[in-house]
Amino acid sequence: MASSPIIPYNDLNLGKKEQVKKMFNSIAGRYDFMNRILTMRIDILWRRKAVKLARKFPHDTILDIATGTGDFAIEFAKLNPTIITGIDIAEKMLEIGREKVKQKGLSGMIEMMEADSENLPFGDNSFDLATSAFGVRNFENLNKGLSEMHRVLKSGGRILILEASEPQKGPFRKLYKAYMTKICPAIGGVFSENKAYDYLNKSVAAFPSGKNFEAELVKAGFTETESIPLTMGVSSIYIAKK
């Protein structure tokens, strides 16, 4: 029997996509602040590492999936591409992202639009690089979302995904589990919507990380897959080629 999808609200009669949209719209104003607290600002270093790795690949046109408030897209601006297109389903997250882009003087390089990652409004072979930071595990249909990223990439283009993962062994795994199940939801409940950070823990635990996610990339049509654990496995970078 297939397991039930991990969703933010068990008491709402909505699909995962609509629930995720509702959740991120509700926490948009506190999202960046909470990210910095809960990761102790290490998420900034993870993004920089990902962008550094992407430098060696074609990156003139970049699509950033589940761009949220635009942190990943803004970091990729350092590569000086012609255009970065950031898409998300949560309009309130995009509103904050557009303001950040404007304040940094990047409006001519970064465009942000509301769109569904599983039904991308772009033609085949449109982008050199497709990216996502902490958004892929929120897909309602993982294979469909990855297949769409594959479709819009040019031949030889790369996908680069930064996603949360669980340490697999050792004493650090126990500390991590305690942090994610007890401390993270408690802090989240003080500053934001508690359900959002309970969902965070459950969605990370359910996500097929490491070699399992590489297998999902292959299933979606990608080759030359690679996974790079960060900070003892708390996060991972995935790279693959079309």
pLDDT surpassing 70 at residue 206: yes
- What pLDDT score was predicted for residue 39? 80
pLDDT class of 228 with cuts at 50, 70, 90: very high
**What are 95-152's pLDDT values in tens digits?**
999 999 999 999 999 999 999 999 999 999 999 999 999 999 999 999 999 999 999 9
Residue 11 is predicted with a pLDDT of 79
pLDDT value for 218 = 98
Q: What is the pLDDT of residue 58?
A: 97
Distance CA 60, CA 129 (A): 8
Helix residue ranges per DSSP H, the chain: 16-39, 42-54, 71-76, 91-103, 142-152, 171-178, 184-191, 194-206, 211-219
CATH of 16-164+209-241, one of 3.20.20.390, 3.40.50.150, 2.60.40.420, 3.40.50.300: 3.40.50.150
Which pTM value belongs to this model?
A: 0.92
Q: pLDDT over 70 for what percent of the chain?
A: 89
Give domain limits for the chain: 16-164+209-241
For position 70, what pLDDT does the model report?
A: 98
Q: Taking 60 as the threshold, does the pLDDT of residue 2 lie above it?
A: no
Does 1 score more than 50 pLDDT?
Answer: no
| Residue whose pair of structure tokens reads 């996502």 in the numeric block | 132
Confidence of residue 55 (pLDDT cuts 50, 70, 90): very high
